[in-house]
Structure 1
Amino acid sequence: MELKILNDRMFYYPHQPETDRPMLAYLKGEKIALAIDAGNSAAHVDEFYTALETKGLKKPDFTVITHWHWDHTFGMHHIHGLSIAHCKTNVMLENERNKLRDNSYIKILKEENEFITREYSVNQKIVVVLSDIQG
């Protein structure tokens, strides 16, 4: 998938419906770069960063999280720079992280959500982290 250019400072990586990967955005400033959302896995982050590199863009200095849902946050552990989220987002992420300690919960997640099954292989661990900065 290719990074889409809106103008010389605004870019986005399109939604991927087959794995429910959300659109990720990138804003290029004079000194810093900002990503919007972290994606649903380390693989999603890697794809996004490869697309940035292809366009000659640096990895983001900050990644802002719009909300806590898995497809926007399960890649947070793999981002470059610092993450920023609302304090309620961190509460939800902490709850999810605690639930993921139970293998039966993970099994139910994968049974009920075909997209999680497609994104995470049987032995691939789901990693949930809280944001570095919260507001």
Structure 2
Amino acid sequence: MTHADPSTLVRVTERVWLWPHHPDPDRVQASVGMIAGDDGCLVVDAGQSPAHAHRVRDGLAHLGFPPPRLLVYTHHHWDHVWGAQEWGVPVVAHEECREALLSEAAKPWSETYLRSETAREPLLRPSYSARIRAMEDCWESSRIVPPDQTFRTRHVVELAGVAVELEHVGGRHTPDSIVVKVPSEGVVFLGDCYYPPPYHLRRPGDEPDLAMVRGLPDPAYHMYVESHDVPRSRQEAEAALNPPAP
């Protein structure tokens, strides 16, 4: 696997590709994953905006990828779902994700609304400033897309040539978090599952949930892909979790 900037698709395995996260944390731009079946591809997270999703779709078309067939949300946060309208395919997510997005869709999203909410609650500034930057004045044509299909604990998607397992893990970042497993490729998409709560909800002492992530490495999987960092091999993940004693 090679690393690249977030304007270039990265090949993780034969059937798994990644549009990387943006390294600037102020952009809050999560990675977008692609799992290629013989009859179409499954997209893991939608991108942070229609423009972001459009760039990813162009990259897929340039590589001759099979057409998108299904979109999976790892959770409901904006940087994972606001690009969904650009994909135009059915969406699958955890049942709590649908509830959260129906609530989000009812809000009057606009630059004016974001600025007024930031004035009310300054801790929202990092997230809401990134949303203003990402949306590039396309508020009137954008919409939040709740999932078409939901599940509670586990769901399997069968593409021609590859099966994808969706598993609910929850966590403090958000209770609807799932992981996306591709057993035949040895790859797991972690989303943000072990991250601490969003900045405006964070309390002193909130840290990454290392107890959760220590339970994720599995000999059946050799590559772990999270949304806001580089992919890690199982050995790299285990080394990060268990640093040598000084």
TM-score (norm 1): 0.87
For residues 36 and 92 of structure 1, what CA distance do their matches in structure 2 show? 18
Choose from 3, 6, 19 the match for 2:9: 3
Q: Structure 2 matches for 1:99-110, cutoff 5 A?
A: 99-100=107-108, 105-108=113-116
Distance 1:33 1:124, change over 3 A: same
**Partner SS for 1:15:** coil
Q: Structure 2 matches for 1:66-81, cutoff 5 A?
A: 66-81=74-89
Is 1:121 matched with 2:136? Answer: yes
Deviates more, 1:104-113 or 1:70-79: 104-113
Is 1:93 matched with 2:108? Answer: no
Contact 2:40 2:67 in 1 (8 A): no
**Partner SS for 1:28:** strand
> What is aligned with 2:239?
none
Per-residue Cα deviation, 1:70-106 (whole angstroms, up to 9, x for no partner)? 0001111221321111110011101111123688643
Where relative contact order (Cα < 8 A, 6+ residues apart) is larger, the structure is 1
Q: Which is greater in Rg?
A: 2
| Aligned CA-pair RMSD | 2.2
Contact 1:45 1:75 in 2 (8 A): yes
For residues 110 and 120 of structure 1, what CA distance do their matches in structure 2 show? 17
Is 1:49 matched with 2:42? Answer: no
Choose from 16, 21, 25 the match for 1:15: 21
For residues 101 and 114 of structure 1, what CA distance do their matches in structure 2 show? 13
Q: Structure 2 matches for 1:24-35, cutoff 5 A?
A: 24-35=32-43
Contact 1:100 1:106 in 2 (8 A): no
Equivalent pairs counted in the alignment come to 135
Contact 2:38 2:66 in 1 (8 A): no
**Partner SS for 2:17:** strand
Contact 2:11 2:18 in 1 (8 A): yes
Residue identity matched to 1:127: R
For residues 26 and 81 of structure 1, what CA distance do their matches in structure 2 show? 14
Gap regions ≥5 residues in structure 2: 1-6, 120-124, 152-246
Q: Percent identity?
A: 24
Gap regions ≥5 residues in structure 1: none
> What is aligned with 1:38?
46
Distance 1:109 1:4, change over 3 A: farther
Contact 2:42 2:68 in 1 (8 A): yes
> What is aligned with 1:130?
146
For residues 82 and 58 of structure 2, what CA distance do their matches in structure 1 show? 18
